[in-house]
Structure 1
C-alpha cells in the first residue's frame, strides 16, 4: 500500500520540485524515488521549523516570535532546497562547453551548503536532547570565567596598592584605601557574577556542545541530519540519463523553447515587415538548429562587396 501511494502521489512530487506530466511516463522505480525525495523535503521542512523555532525562543524567550520565524525559515528552506535539487538535474539541452572543474566546483558548493544547513538546523534539537550534559559544561565554564575575573581584579588592585605604597603615605590612610579597594573589588566581582548568571548563554551552549570532549558524540547526530539533508541529492544525481525521466524532460523543454522561439520570430518579422518593408528584412540565425544554437552555419565567403551587401540587407540581429 505504501509503495502504491508513493508511485502516484503528486503532492510528494510537487515537494520534490518535479513535473507530474513527465513522471507519468516514468518507471515505478523513478516515481517512488522522487516521491521519497518529496517526503524527505517535508521532513526537512518540519525539522527546520521545530529546530529554528526552539533556537529563536531560547535566544529571545518568546514563543510567538520563535514560531513565526521558525515557520518562515522552514518555508524559505523548502523553496531553496527545491531550487538546489532542480539545479542538480542533468542537462538535457546541449549546454555551452564548460570545464569539468567548474562543474564539479559548482556542485560541491551546493552540496556543501546543504551540509552546512543540516549541521546548523541540527544544533538546537541536539541541545534539547543533551541539555543536561551541556549545562554541566556551562556551569564549569561560568565558574572558570568568574575565577579568571577575580584573578584579574586581584592583579589590578595589587598594582594600585603598590602605587600607593610607593608614595610613602601613612599607615592609617593606607589601611583605609585597602578597605575601599576591597569593597570596590567585591562590588565589581558581584556585578560580574550577576551579569554571568543573567545571560542567556544559548550561543555559548552550542559552542560548548560542539567543542567539548565530553560532547563529541553529539556529532554523530549532526551526521544523521546531514545525511537526511543530502539524501534527495543522492537520489536525484543518480537517476540515469537514459531513463524516460530525462527523455521526456528533454522533449518538454525542447517544445517549450521551440514554441517561444517561433513566437519570437513571427513577432520580430512582423515588426520588420511593418517598419522596414522596403528592405525585405527577416530574422536569420547563424546556426542550423535555432534556438538551441549548437551547430553553427559554416562561414560564407563573399566574392564582392555587392554579395556582402546583399547578405547584410537580408540579415537582422
Structure 2
C-alpha cells in the first residue's frame, strides 16, 4: 500500500483523494505514477550521458544529471497537473482550451525528444564510434591539406628569393615553415583525438540512422500516455467530485477569512464602517456579475433638479 501511495504522489495529484476512489481509478493513477518514475529514470540517464559526454567528467555528469532530471520531471508533473479538469465555475471556451492543451502537449513532446537523443546515442554507440572516427580522420586530413597548402606557398616564395647574401636568412625561414607544418598538424591531431564530438555524433545519428527515430517515438509515447490517462478521467468520477469538493471548500474558507480580516482592519484599526464589496454573485469564483439594481434618472430629471 505504501508503494501505491508513493506512485500516487508521483502522479502529481493528492494521494488522499485518490485513496477514496474506486479500484479502476486507483489503478489508473498507480500506472501514471509508475510511468512518471520511468520518465524520471530516462531523464537521469539522458542528462547523465549528455553532460558526461560534453564535460567528460563522471561525477559532474551524475550531479548535473540528477539536478536536471529532477527539474525536467517537476516541469512535466506541473504540465500533467494543469491537464486536470477544474471543478471551479468558469466560462467555457473550447477554442482556448484546445489551444492551451495543444501547447502543453507540444512542449511535452519537445521534452521527450530532447531526452531521447542521448539514449539513442548510447544504443547506437558502436556504429557511431566508427563514424566519429571517420569524421575525425577527415577533419585532420582537411586541416592538414589546408595547412600544407598555405605553408607550401610561403616556402615556394622563400625559395624564389634565395639569392646571394640572403640565402641563410631565407633558409631559416624555410626550415621554420617546415617545422611549423609538423607542429600544427600534430597539435590538431591531439585536439581531435581528445574530443569525443558528442554533438556531431547526434547529428550523424539523426542523418545516418533514421531507425533511431523509432526510439524517439517510443519515448514520446511514454511521455504522452500519462497525459492521456489524466485527460480522459471523466469529470463526474469520484476522483473529480472529491477533488473539486476539497478545492472549492478550501477556496471558500480562505475567502471568508480574507473578508473577515478586511472588515476587521477597517472597522477596528481605522474606525471606518467599511465592508468588502462583492460585485459577483458567485464570489470568489467571479463568473456571474451582479445586476446593477440602481435606478438611473434621465437627463430631464437632472435639469429639473438644477433649475427647480
What TM-score do the two structures reach when normalised by structure 1? Answer: 0.81
* CA displacement, residues 136-157 of structure 1 (integer Å, 9 cap, x when unaligned): 1101111111121122123312
Q: Displacement, 1:34?
A: 1.5
Residue among 288, 291, 294 paired with 2:284? 291
CA distance in 2, matches of 1:207, 1:282: 65
SS of structure 1 residue aligned to 2:287? coil
Aligned to 1:210: 206
* 1:246-261 to 2 correspondences below 5 Å: 246-261=240-255
CA distance in 2, matches of 1:303, 1:128: 76
Aligned to 2:19: 24
Q: Displacement, 1:222?
A: 1.7
Q: Displacement, 1:177?
A: 5.1
How large is the RMSD of aligned CA atoms in angstroms? 2.8
Residue among 40, 43, 65 paired with 2:35? 40
* 1:185-204 to 2 correspondences below 5 Å: 185-204=181-200
CA distance in 2, matches of 1:264, 1:177: 86
Q: Displacement, 1:69?
A: 2.1
CA distance in 2, matches of 1:25, 1:300: 45
Aligned to 2:274: 281
Residue among 36, 40, 60 paired with 1:65? 60
Q: Displacement, 1:88?
A: 1.2
CA distance in 2, matches of 1:178, 1:275: 94
Residue among 112, 131, 134 paired with 1:137? 131
Aligned to 2:51: 56
Residue among 240, 247, 269 paired with 2:234? 240
Aligned to 2:88: 93
Write out the 4+ residue segments of structure 1 that deviate beyond 6 Å after TM superposition. 171-176
In 1, are the aligned partners of 2:43 and 2:73 still within 8 Å (CA)? Answer: no
CA distance in 2, matches of 1:169, 1:274: 104
Range with bigger deviation, 86-95 or 251-260: 86-95
Q: Displacement, 1:281?
A: 2.4
Paired positions, count: 294
Aligned to 1:183: 179
In 1, are the aligned partners of 2:158 and 2:174 still within 8 Å (CA)? Answer: no
Distance 1:276 1:179, change over 3 A: closer
Q: Which runs of 5+ in 1 are unaligned?
A: 305-317
* CA displacement, residues 60-99 of structure 1 (integer Å, 9 cap, x when unaligned): 3433222222222222233222211111112221236667
Aligned to 1:268: 262
CA distance in 2, matches of 1:176, 1:303: 104
CA distance in 2, matches of 1:154, 1:194: 18
What TM-score do the two structures reach when normalised by structure 2? Answer: 0.84
